[in-house]
Structure 1
Amino acid sequence: VGATLYSGDEEFKIKKAKMRGEPSEGMICAEDEIGLGTSHDGIMVLDDAAKIGMPAKEYFKIETDTVFEIGLTPNRIDGASHIGTARDLAAFLSQTKEITLTKPSVDNFKVDNRNLPIDIIVEDKVACPRYTGVTVTNVNVGPSPEWLQNRLKAIGLNPINNLVDISNYVLHETGQPLHFFDADQIDGNKVIIKTLPEGTSFITLDEVDRKLSSEDLMICNEKNGMCIAGVFGGIKSGVTENTKNVFIESAHFNSVYIRKTAKRHDLHTDASFRFERGSDPNVTEYALKRAALLIKEITGGEISSEIVDVYPEAVQDYNVDLTFKNLKRLIGKEIEKEKVKSILKSLDIKIVDEDEVKLSLKIPTYRVDVQREADVIEEVLRIYGYNNVEISEHVNSSLSYSQKPDKEVIQNTISDILTANGFNEIMCNSLTKEDYYNNLESYKPENLVKIFNPLSNDLNAMRQTLLFGGLESISYNRNRRNPDLKLYEFGNCYFLNKSENENLLKKYNEEKHLALFVTGNKTEENWIVNAEPTSFFLLKSFIENILLRLGFDLNQISADDISSDILTEGLSYHYNQNKIAEFGMVSKKILRSFDIDTNVYFAEFAWNQVIKRSAKNNIRYTEIPKYPEVRRDLALLIDKSVKFSEIKDLANKTEKKLLRKVSLFDVFEGEKLGANKKSYAVSFILQDENKTLTDKQIDKIMNNFIRVFEKELNAQIR
């Protein structure tokens, strides 16, 4: 009573209880309940040698061990092994005491006979830069010795049999993944590293029939595939309880190939975990010898071939120059030269040359994360100790330079304006559904940037427009009885230029856009006013307010009618012949595909162009005029094809100095006007900042307007 048992993550404390009416002062346990095994078949029965009061640790001969749980960052794959961790500890401890790292020796490796040679052929030397193999015959598969089982249990692995246990043991000891093949299943006594045709069927150890990609690297015999290289073994070639002869693989695979294959098949193993992050090409032979010697010792096997090592281009240590100036600049402290050299030596980094300015270094191949000078400086600081770098009491700063215009400031300003006008900001996924672009002319499917190995068909392409993400948001809100919406989004859009095959920077284009969405009612219905639906002109007012705030002169913006498979009614704004925005009503066909049964008005700014053009637009502030403005109205009878923008443009060209504003305040159409005719009532605001306008001046200007309208637009004054 009072003892605490641990089973997995669960904790159980033994208390006094009654069983069948009798008091219980303890608990009879199975193996798994006291952490001595995995069996739960029945209680553990002790023999007569077990004395009452004898420590269980002494009776079961449990070794005293300490387990360190180390949280590695993804770049430190060299530390994902016992030797790797010991190597790092030795580097740190050697700064204060004499200490060296001693690895298990493989010097006694020797070939017992040559009864089972295996040929190795590497067809893809990019995907497999090094492949090492050897055979061991006459092995006896069975339980592992107690010491091996205990060490595997200590790191959370369940013992299987001596061959599997040796493979796992060497993996965690050296960090090098191994694969054991049943040598009797290798047809033709040949191991061939190659790819197989697209769609080839291959059954893996988990008994799943997988369809291979033509990019999956395979370990094959003369007839069939045996293993997905660096990822997962096949069901037919692996070792079993009946295995007598073993072929040991110790290889170095290209991390890119392994990562893609593992993701493609959703297979994530201890081997792929290490290969994906970069294994050491120069440890394969050591790990192979270590495994072969353990098999020989534990299973009674014989090494029955020479080691075959296919390594056409040896991977050399990385060359990096470390300058003392940069070391001091990045660390913030000057470290003695001899101390730096001592740290580098402890990290197995060789100093091949030195002078007063720099050290020329060779980085060992197992440190795939140390490729640059900054990486070396980080290593020096890590061993030297962050706590040994004093924090200065003075704060030094410098004035930063920011580009004009400041893109972030402008974006925040426009966001504030839109929010103040009742808009909500949305942030949609840049990944979208390829099907949205099927049969579209405005955004052609061939211009899509597609995703390799997408997680789903709903996220298999990069967006060309912000429209579809916004419509998803509108549909989501409408389905939850929130139909009155004003939304905006700043986001990047992506385009593929197929004509550019050589320059990747030109082949893939990224543009920033601003999108506005307006739908539902402008205001909620209440007792004062009726609900008023949103309109094209409401959206237009928001667009023009944005452009005005950015310093654009609306009189210099040209508007063209557009009608497309995206917008049924719309305008395209151009400034200095550059398109800066398109807006209008979204087509009913597209809205139906999102189950939206009301009008949606959409605008999309080419934000990069807007920012670029706004940089030249300085907003000018003037005093409030002392002299009054004058309004004059004209009623113009014109053809229905004439747009108000044409009237406005002509007026601005005719009177550039005194004309302040042109507004349309009434439109009338009827049979009395004649076929294809309409009447526009237009107001003109005139003002002189230096004096009061006289009737003579005003009449002259208005007569000029009338003359121009009659000549250019065939207008009649009513």
Structure 2
Amino acid sequence: MNISLHRLKEYLSFDQSPEEIAALLTASGLEVEGISTFESIPGSLEGVVIGEVLTCAPHPNADKLRVTTVSIGEEVVPIVCGAPNVAAGQKVAVATVGATLYTSSGESFQIKKAKIRGEVSEGMICAEDELGLGDNHDGILVLETDLANGTPASEYFGIFRTDVLEIGLTPNRADAASHMGVARDLSALLRKPLRLPSVEHFAVDNEALPIEVEVEDANDCPRYAGLTLTGLKVGPSPEWLQNYLKAIDLEPINNVVDVTNFILHDLGQPLHAFDASKIKGGKIIVKRLPKGTSFTTLDEKERKLSGAELMICDEGQGLCIAGIFGGLGSGISEQTTEVFLESACFSPDIIRKGSQYHGLKTDASFRFERGTDPNMPVYALKRAAMLIKELAGGNISSSIVDVYPNPIQDVRIWVKYRNVTRLIGKEISKDEIHDILRSLEIGIEGETGEGFFAIVKPYRVDVTREADIIEEVLRIYGFDAIPLSDTYQADFLANHPEKDGNRIQYRISEILSARGFYEIITNSLTKPSYAEQSPHLDGKDSVIVLNKLSEDLGVLRQSLVHTGLEVLAYNINRRQKDLACFEFGTVYRNSVKGYAERKHLSLFLTGNATSESWLAPVSPVQFSQLYAVVEALLLKLHVGTPTVEMAEEGDFEYGLKLLLGKAPVARIGLLSDTVTRMAEIKQDVFYAELDWTALLEATEGVRKFAEISKFPEVRRDLSLVIDKSVSFATLKELAEKAGGPLLRRVGVFDVYTGDKIDASKKAYALSFFLQDFEKTLTDKVIDKTMTRLMQVFEKEADAYIRK
């Protein structure tokens, strides 16, 4: 980003050299990467003065040369001149001995004292092209001026010269992407007042050309303002404006477009000028156009819209890609006489996406992507309208339309003096802190002995926290003003969440690893056929990859099961058949509500539970082993006791579903042959998939501990005959309600079905553990509790108690 020091001095007065200003800005966070000089005429005509031809006589030894004497102030010098139009009495531009001239063709040469055909020549009377002012070489440049002889020619020609700072702007400092933004920092650093251009003389001339504005989405376009101008004459900009643009490496176009570029780089507010005669229906609509719509931009390239970018439209078509690039059909031309001037605030996200999609990086998108000042559009609009009227004539022919339904408020941040000292490493007086912040236009409210509220205007998009306020104090106070101590330390301000998802995931990974599970990581991209052929998934819900590398990697996975089975198959095919694996991964789904992604945890068990040994027979893994692992994880996560239901058939031969409230959080079961055959696995695979996102939300952030009871635990057993449809989970829930606070846990240690009881029945042997933290349990209390349990089983579960 280029910043003209000449323009900065319009905002505040300073005498420091360019190098000193560069050092100040760099130390405050606006790194100056280079300093250059812009001159409207190369060399700034240094060594060229106003002269007067006193005498002019033919050269004695050359027919086409003249011998002249020229007054250049306190000295009269002889000059041999070959121009046919040189004559006594003329005011001319004289390059003195030692001056270097830069011609319009780009060449340069130095003036030396010489003898030309025997006559001494101490300078040169210059033509237009020799001064770099144009291409004319028909004769010397004759000046109409009353300036005294010897006056530097730069005064006559109005040479513009300025030092230019090249600033490497960091992405967070959107507020400094303009001359006014840099001037704000410089004002705070030098403690000098800022002078803002006045718009108090702005006035609407008539209402001859009103334009209605409609904004369909106030989130994407929080503010949109505009007005019209009529009777304009589009043409070249005046020299001062052209010099301003050239100094910051911009090419002048015409007086209307140049004003919009001037305001953008001066205030940081992008503007766009439309040819108002091309706006159909007298209405501007900020909206989206359908995907695939063709739109030709100002660079004459036809582009296909994504359907996501914001467009500025009339009642018939798109006129401009909002905040990025204008359309060819509505651009300003030499025939334009009516202009609609736009000044808006757009969402950084929507501009960034549109800019990346179309590969367009403009000065406007650069600023909108980082965040512009929502309070600037109307002020910038007034300044631009006044300038256009001054440079192109015409009238302001409508009142300002300002669509701003939800004004963006200042940010209110509580700042503690103690934290200012702690982070900076030096105690700064309260008055100094307040002065610095006020010099940065940050207000102070509600001050107490402990701290104060900092009121931050919306244009400071990077200042949202207490640490940001302290950084503002430090960068203006000066990093170099903080003494280095003998010891170094770092500090920070942060609100630590009660639940750290990464730490919880790491602990669960450690638990699973300790139980013999190996972590796997699989690709989120997978085969479309998995979802199309799986009984529990729907191919219509798959998120399709547009730029797919292959058909086998054509969609994002809906479940972790298939990519995990690929890992199992790879290992089984290499004779590693006893496997216990887990994976934390993201699953994706496309539904009516749009795209969604959640993090899941998958567990796989297959093969034998133990390796071969002479000590004990080999036994295959069981459902209960995987269920026990899931139960242990839920216990560790402190999510409460889940409700257990039978899992739907499809991907499982049999299984269970765990719910917290009404939300399913886990499914556990034996995978069906339909699923395992897709990975060509021929052995049983037990699988569990947990909704990790839901479990993290449900887990308690604060752990609660209780003292271990000094009193003994008592166990009592019951044998029940119940209907086969009654689950242990149902019995456990009934027991917990009836047992009250004395019942610590319930277990099942035997299950019987056979010919000794009815075929529709089963027998459960349950254990009940009772304990009182306050006293030893008596037989009377124990018996009363067990009687209550038996009664509820008989009544609620239709159980037969075997005594």
Please classify the TM superposition score into its range, dividing by the shorter chain length: 0.5 to 0.7
State the AA in 2 paired with 1:121: V
Q: Tell me, yes or no, if structure 1 residue 324 matches structure 2 residue 421.
A: no
SS of equivalent residue, structure 2 residue 165: coil
Normalising to structure 2: TM-score of the pair?
Answer: 0.51
| Aligned residue number for residue 757 of structure 2 | none
CA distance in 2, matches of 1:338, 1:161: 49
Instruction: Report if the CA contact (8 A) 2:558-2:587 is conserved.
Output: yes
Within-5 A mapping of 1:604-683? 604=688, 606=690, 653=750
1:408 to 474, 489, 506: 506
CA distance in 1, matches of 2:332, 2:376: 24
CA drift of 1:280 comes to: 1.3
CA distance in 2, matches of 1:375, 1:337: 17
CA drift of 1:182 comes to: 0.6
| Aligned residue number for residue 203 of structure 1 | 295
Instruction: Report if the CA contact (8 A) 2:213-2:403 is conserved.
Output: no
CA drift of 1:380 comes to: 2.4
Q: CA RMSD for the aligned pairs?
A: 5.9
| Aligned residue number for residue 181 of structure 2 | 84
Instruction: Report if the CA contact (8 A) 2:169-2:177 is conserved.
Output: no
State the AA in 2 paired with 1:303: N
1:114 to 182, 197, 206: 206
SS of equivalent residue, structure 1 residue 367: coil
CA drift of 1:349 comes to: 1.1
Residue 588 to residue 160, structure 1, CA distance change in 2 (3 Å) = farther
Number of aligned residue pairs: 530
Q: Tell me, yes or no, if structure 1 residue 232 matches structure 2 residue 329.
A: no
| Aligned residue number for residue 175 of structure 1 | 268
| Aligned residue number for residue 521 of structure 2 | 426
Deviations 1:30-64 (A, max 9, x none): xxxxxx9xxxxxxxx95699662379998588945
SS of equivalent residue, structure 1 residue 135: strand
| Aligned residue number for residue 442 of structure 1 | 536
Q: Tell me, yes or no, if structure 1 residue 53 matches structure 2 residue 110.
A: yes
Residue 474 to residue 544, structure 1, CA distance change in 2 (3 Å) = closer
Residue 579 to residue 256, structure 1, CA distance change in 2 (3 Å) = closer
Instruction: Report if the CA contact (8 A) 1:487-1:517 is conserved.
Output: yes
Instruction: Report if the CA contact (8 A) 1:292-1:303 is conserved.
Output: no
1:367 to 442, 460, 481: 460
CA drift of 1:181 comes to: 0.2
| Aligned residue number for residue 513 of structure 1 | 601
Instruction: Report if the CA contact (8 A) 2:104-2:132 is conserved.
Output: no
2:374 to 281, 284, 301: 281
CA drift of 1:165 comes to: 3.7
Instruction: Report if the CA contact (8 A) 2:210-2:399 is conserved.
Output: no
CA distance in 2, matches of 1:101, 1:217: 36
SS of equivalent residue, structure 1 residue 339: helix
Residue 316 to residue 307, structure 1, CA distance change in 2 (3 Å) = farther
Instruction: Report if the CA contact (8 A) 1:195-1:217 is conserved.
Output: yes
SS of equivalent residue, structure 1 residue 169: helix
| Aligned residue number for residue 63 of structure 2 | none
CA distance in 2, matches of 1:176, 1:210: 27
Instruction: Report if the CA contact (8 A) 1:322-1:360 is conserved.
Output: yes
2:439 to 346, 358, 363: 346
CA drift of 1:348 comes to: 0.4
CA distance in 2, matches of 1:233, 1:482: 61
Instruction: Report if the CA contact (8 A) 1:425-1:487 is conserved.
Output: no
CA distance in 1, matches of 2:197, 2:526: 53
Residue 498 to residue 340, structure 1, CA distance change in 2 (3 Å) = same
2:164 to 66, 72, 87: 66
| Aligned residue number for residue 396 of structure 2 | 304
Residue 81 to residue 484, structure 1, CA distance change in 2 (3 Å) = farther
State the AA in 1 paired with 2:401: D
Instruction: Report if the CA contact (8 A) 1:203-1:210 is conserved.
Output: yes
Residue 415 to residue 158, structure 1, CA distance change in 2 (3 Å) = farther
Instruction: Report if the CA contact (8 A) 1:227-1:234 is conserved.
Output: yes
| Aligned residue number for residue 633 of structure 1 | none
CA distance in 2, matches of 1:257, 1:588: 44
Instruction: Report if the CA contact (8 A) 2:184-2:194 is conserved.
Output: yes
State the AA in 1 paired with 2:322: A
State the AA in 1 paired with 2:536: S
Residue 514 to residue 329, structure 1, CA distance change in 2 (3 Å) = farther
CA distance in 2, matches of 1:226, 1:510: 39
Specify every segment of 5 or more residues in structure 2 that has no aligned partner in the other structure, as ranges: 1-41, 43-101, 113-128, 134-158, 612-617, 636-643, 705-747, 753-803
CA distance in 2, matches of 1:100, 1:460: 61
Deviations 1:550-573 (A, max 9, x none): 999xxxxxx999996546x78779
2:337 to 244, 247, 255: 244
Instruction: Report if the CA contact (8 A) 2:647-2:657 is conserved.
Output: no
Specify every segment of 5 or more residues in structure 1 that has no aligned partner in the other structure, as ranges: 1-35, 37-44, 524-534, 553-558, 617-650, 656-718
CA drift of 1:343 comes to: 1.1
Q: Based on CA coordinates, which of the two structures has the bigger radius of gyration?
A: 2
CA drift of 1:338 comes to: 0.3
Deviations 1:678-717 (A, max 9, x none): xxxxxxxxxxxxxxxxxxxxxxxxxxxxxxxxxxxxxxxx
Instruction: Report if the CA contact (8 A) 1:194-1:219 is conserved.
Output: yes
CA drift of 1:83 comes to: 1.9
CA drift of 1:425 comes to: 3.7
| Aligned residue number for residue 766 of structure 2 | none
2:561 to 459, 467, 474: 467
Deviations 1:223-244 (A, max 9, x none): 4442343343333212234323
Instruction: Report if the CA contact (8 A) 2:565-2:676 is conserved.
Output: no
CA drift of 1:136 comes to: 3.3
1:271 to 355, 364, 367: 364
CA distance in 1, matches of 2:523, 2:598: 16
Deviations 1:360-388 (A, max 9, x none): 44322312333444432332233334552
CA drift of 1:89 comes to: 3.3
Instruction: Report if the CA contact (8 A) 1:488-1:515 is conserved.
Output: yes
Instruction: Report if the CA contact (8 A) 1:82-1:174 is conserved.
Output: yes
Instruction: Report if the CA contact (8 A) 1:328-1:334 is conserved.
Output: yes
Residue 396 to residue 99, structure 1, CA distance change in 2 (3 Å) = closer
CA distance in 2, matches of 1:536, 1:222: 75
SS of equivalent residue, structure 1 residue 118: coil
SS of equivalent residue, structure 1 residue 66: strand
Within-5 A mapping of 1:148-227? 148=241, 151-152=244-245, 155=248, 157-188=250-281, 190-195=282-287, 198=290, 201=293, 203-205=295-297, 206-208=300-302, 210=304, 213=307, 217-227=310-320
Residue 123 to residue 544, structure 1, CA distance change in 2 (3 Å) = closer
Deviations 1:59-117 (A, max 9, x none): 588945333232313x43212223212322332x13xxx42333445455455x43842
CA distance in 1, matches of 2:507, 2:277: 70
Residue 238 to residue 548, structure 1, CA distance change in 2 (3 Å) = closer
Instruction: Report if the CA contact (8 A) 2:352-2:369 is conserved.
Output: yes
Residue 425 to residue 496, structure 1, CA distance change in 2 (3 Å) = closer
Residue 249 to residue 407, structure 1, CA distance change in 2 (3 Å) = closer
Within-5 A mapping of 1:375-414? 375-386=468-479, 388=482, 393=487, 408-412=506-510, 414=512
CA distance in 2, matches of 1:580, 1:385: 56
Within-5 A mapping of 1:247-266? 247-255=340-348, 258=351
CA drift of 1:460 comes to: 10
Percent identity over paired residues: 33
State the AA in 1 paired with 2:521: I
CA distance in 1, matches of 2:490, 2:306: 58
Within-5 A mapping of 1:125-144? 126-127=218-219, 128-142=221-235, 144=237
Instruction: Report if the CA contact (8 A) 1:426-1:487 is conserved.
Output: no
Residue 241 to residue 351, structure 1, CA distance change in 2 (3 Å) = same
CA drift of 1:407 comes to: 5.2
